Structure 1
Amino acid sequence: MKLPSLLLLLVLAVIATFAALNWGVFVSPTDLSLGYTTVYMPLGLLMLGLLAAVTTLFLAFVVYLQGSVLFEARRHARELQANRGLADRAEASRFTELRIFLEAEMAKQSAEQTNSKDALLARIDTLQQELRSYVEQSGNTLAAYMGELEDRLEKGAIPPSVR
């Protein structure tokens, strides 16, 4: 039990013990003024009855407060659970959107890489054709020079000592 509950039980036990020890005085009648009339009754018993009534009202109020707090806590728990569900769905939606976005980006990059591969292959083909053309031109030029040298040799334009 908590300290306030123990303290309340201790006070009630002290009052009950006090009333039991002084029961004769509590039940002895006396004249009591109610303002407009006078009543002959035991004051101690009246005070014990009022104490019991106030204690009962206090306990009823405590039960009411605890019940309302419990209902409020349950309502908050349901709202929290609903909000948690919304947050989970939103998070899942964001993950789905992110996955779709990443897949689209990867597909885009793949397409760009394919395009860049195609462009690179086309560039390599162009360079290869240019190289072949250059090699062919060099071969033709070399063949022309050799043919010219052969013509000169045949015509005797080059002295034999150089041969």
Structure 2
Amino acid sequence: MKFRTIVIGVCLAGLAFFALLNWSTFSRPTTLNVVVASVDAPLGVILLIAIGVLTLIYAVSLARLEVATLIEGRRMTKDRDHVRRIADQTEESRIQELQDFLKRELPRMDVKLEALLDAARQQSASARISH
């Protein structure tokens, strides 16, 4: 569990314990002014209900945020994997092109090298004969 969740749980448990110990005071009716009228109602219970509603709204908002984060993370992972696959395919294509190029050019280079070596041998042989 996250530290924040533990702290909120401990605070709510403490509030519930406090309300239970003082329930007679919490449930005592009092006159409340609600702008357009006066109502006799237990102020403590009303405040506890308000705290409960606010806690529920917070929990729902937090859950929505967690779900949105998980969905975004999953989308980012899919995008990353897609980009990685494209990069791997591009790399494989480049390697294949390099292999094809080398298969074409190495025989040509061998022929040119042999021709150069033959010319060098002939030049060396003619230089020995003239000395």
Match of 1:51 in 2: 51
Match of 2:7 in 1: 7
SS of 2:32's equivalent? strand
Q: Which has the higher contact order (CA 8 A, sep 6+)?
A: 2
**Matched ranges for 1:50-69 at <5 A:** 50-69=50-69
- C-alpha distance after superposition, 1:32-60 (max 9, x if no partner): 11111111110000000000000000000
Residue ranges of structure 2 left out of the alignment (5+ in a row): none
Q: Which deviates more from structure 2 when the two are superposed, residues 29-38 or residues 46-55? A: 29-38
Q: Which deviates more from structure 2 when the two are superposed, residues 92-101 or residues 8-17? A: 92-101
Match of 1:115 in 2: 115
Match of 1:106 in 2: 106
Deviation of the 1:119 alpha carbon: 4.5
SS of 2:8's equivalent? helix
Alignment root-mean-square deviation, CA: 2.0
Runs ≥4 residues deviating over 4 A: 117-121
Match of 2:91 in 1: 91
Corresponding pairs, count = 127
Deviation of the 1:120 alpha carbon: 5.8
Residue ranges of structure 1 left out of the alignment (5+ in a row): 135-163
State the TM-score, normalizing by the size of structure 1.
0.71
Q: Counterparts of 2:107 and 2:20 in 1: how far apart (Å)?
A: 91
Deviation of the 1:2 alpha carbon: 2.1
Query: Who wins on radius of gyration, i.e. which is larger?
Result: 1
Q: Counterparts of 2:19 and 2:109 in 1: how far apart (Å)?
A: 92
Match of 1:40 in 2: 40
